[in-house]
Structure 1
Amino acid sequence: MIRDGHVHTPYCPHGTKDTLEAYVEMAISLGYKTITFAEHAPLPAGFTDAAPTRDSAMDNDMLEEYFADLDRVKRTYTGKIIIYAGLEIDYIEGFEEQTTAFLNRVGPRLDDAILSVHFLQNTGVYDCLDYSPGVFGSMAERYGSTEMVHERYYQTVLKSILADMGPYKPRRIGHMTLACKFQLKYPSSRCFQNEITAILSAISQKGYELDYNGAGTAKPLCREPYPPDWIVKEAVRLGIPLVYGSDAHQAKELGQGLSAIDRTVLAT
């Protein structure tokens, strides 16, 4: 059974206007049995979007329409495919209280959710890690090296796992090697095995899941899933459930990366 646990929607400001129906019809054509719409949740109160175009997440005033639309497509496709209402929640260091308050408000309406790190904080300045090669290169200069950016990223992912964010905290960790998005232009001399081992250990102890994300395979400067094979093997050894996610931002991206991942390890 193919389950896609990470799909975006027309509510994404940096995505496309493909309709929810377009995503669902594509999912059905691919043989999916379950799909989670996990749009980028509104950023926490008081946080200024660090992406240069300020388009990282949907606006807070779109939430009601978003949930209403998901309810509508659930009804439309009853018996054809299982549709989960979800969100991709950003963990932003220093904004844990605001994010917890948001989760307490919307959590009862969620069937599924993902916790991801896109923003890093360094000396009080926030950056959008995955925005562009140029932004990543600028970060590497300011942090001191490519390796320092990766190190900070993995430290932040670990903090996201350990953070107390209430009963509605997402239990699946999104694209845990997102720092590798531009690795073919900004290669690292380290594999960060110690940091990744600590992350996997924490996920295992918490009973969380991993987003086995195919989007990296389509990124020209990455060309591998998030996470890659060696991490997947360790996750399997620890008994961590892996949920495939296309991370599609347009309907035609559903299924991306499936040919590059080990389907035998997927949770269903």
Structure 2
Amino acid sequence: MPIFNFGSINIDNFYYLPHLPQPGETLNSDRYARQLGGKGANQSVAACRAGSVVTHVGAVGADGDWCLKALTDEGIGTQHVISLGGPTGHANIYVDRSAENSIVLVPGANRAMTWDAVRMGFTKAGPDDTLLLQNETSHVQKAAELGRAKGMRVVYSAAPFEAAAVEAVLPFCDIFVLNEVEAEQLSQALGVTIAEIDVPVVVITRGANGAVWRDQLNGQEINAPAFQVDPVDTTGAGDCFIGNLAAALDQGYDVKTSLRKASAASAIQVTREGTADVMPRADEVEAFLSERL
């Protein structure tokens, strides 16, 4: 079944630095790179390279034609990516020599779409299709509600974290994905423990400590250990994990296998510099896993 992703499309500006800037500090960058990015685009590329049929719903600005072409060249359906006036969303990403990062986002076209334009992107969506959502666009709650009404599997990433946005989307969410920091922020903001979040499934990513899938109905947990690698850039690792997890579930794999594939994909991705451009392909993931049997 196809995956529909209503998500951000950004121009990622990478600055590779000796260390992350301190307040008031000016640094010379070791080097600079520009790539396609945004949590939405990253997840679409990850899922498509993992072998799923993906349609992206989103927007670019006047400077974003090359972003649209990059998505199309990947084989992603872009008929519902619209071009608007003003800038494409972009991110300034600072990466230090230990692979840690700091990111500043400008929403641009990602927050300028009308609901009618978004809604048209799901005309052909149906039961058992997958809907990917993140917090870098407008109309996320409405999209989640529409996905639920159509019987889609709604996979929602709580990033960038906004407590009000999360609270609004959760009633329409099937798989809720967040990292350890976001889990702590959510618990503090809503006054609930992870076990008390009222969704069918919560997935918590833990970086080098792996990930956990928690069935909220019965409390059962499935742990996915991380693969040990030497990271060079952790930017987009969560998006890689989510895109591959959604693709594996879409292709009918069980939860344990899907988590393992997603963990392998993100392990490969963090050994490369960049985001969408360096998402691994399905054959790379299979080769990686076969070496670790």
Give the TM bin, normalised by the shorter chain.
Answer: 0.3 to 0.5
More strand by share: 2
TM-score, normalization: structure 2?
0.32
